[in-house]
Structure 1
Amino acid sequence: MTVVSQNAGGETVRGTVLINGRAGIGRTDEDFFYATLDWWPPEKCDYGTCSWGVASLLNLDLNNKILLNAVKAFKSMKLRLSGTLQDKVIYEIGHQQQSCHPFVKNSSEMFGFTGDCLPMSRWDELNTFFKETE
């Protein structure tokens, strides 16, 4: 399969991808399952409904006892921090060259939002939550 993409400099890059579906590259346990914590801000709306509210990893109430106990109840569950906007996220660590701003709705941007920054304080809160739910 031929793939055409753009690199960070905006140049068109062509390449060939070969997929060998006969050889496995990894295995999961029979009881493997995961949940994704996504990046969508509350302003994300589809078909007239803004359903994300405070359910993204940016603003989820990590001190909510019901959430904490639900995640604990699924001992083998993996939490995945990802989603559509993942490639637009900057992590506030060390000495950044870019300033840290929240997602802003912008219909001319890919996926309708500008990039976002995950502050180190929120990263610490997420890590505390993960440790509490082990």
Structure 2
Amino acid sequence: MAVINKDVRGSRSRGEARIAAICAGGLFLFLSAVALAGADRPPPPRFGGLVVAFGVISGVAYRRLRKRLSHRRLTSADQAFGAACEGWVAGLGLALFALVAGRGEPGVMPSLHARLIGFGVMGALGACAALVLWWIAAGLQRRLPP
């Protein structure tokens, strides 16, 4: 019968949570800073809703990073591909949300071709962002003690 050292397993879990929190917090700060840099001065009243959306995105990233960091038995290529696929789906979800809830220029109606390009760009950006976030988290996991 194998004896499991609960302290080691618990410290690994805390280490994964700490790395995921660092990455998700950095994501939140980065998204907020980019949005604030592009916003009018003072930011519009609906800017608070955007910050809440960034908080939700960061929370989802935290949960996914914790799960991915705890399943490191898969190869790095499998993990990176999975992260890219999840990011692609997240980018498409954000594009769909922008399509449904967006209040752009009232007189401008984008063509179907332009919308498809927008979905492709958002999917690609989501995949790239997820890969960068995963590589940062994996690098931190290798360098930080549990």
Q: TM-score, normalised by structure 1?
A: 0.23
The structure richer in helix per residue is: 2
The answer to which structure, 1 or 2, has the higher relative contact order (CA under 8 A, 6+ apart) is: 2
What TM-score results when the alignment is normalised by the length of structure 2?
0.22
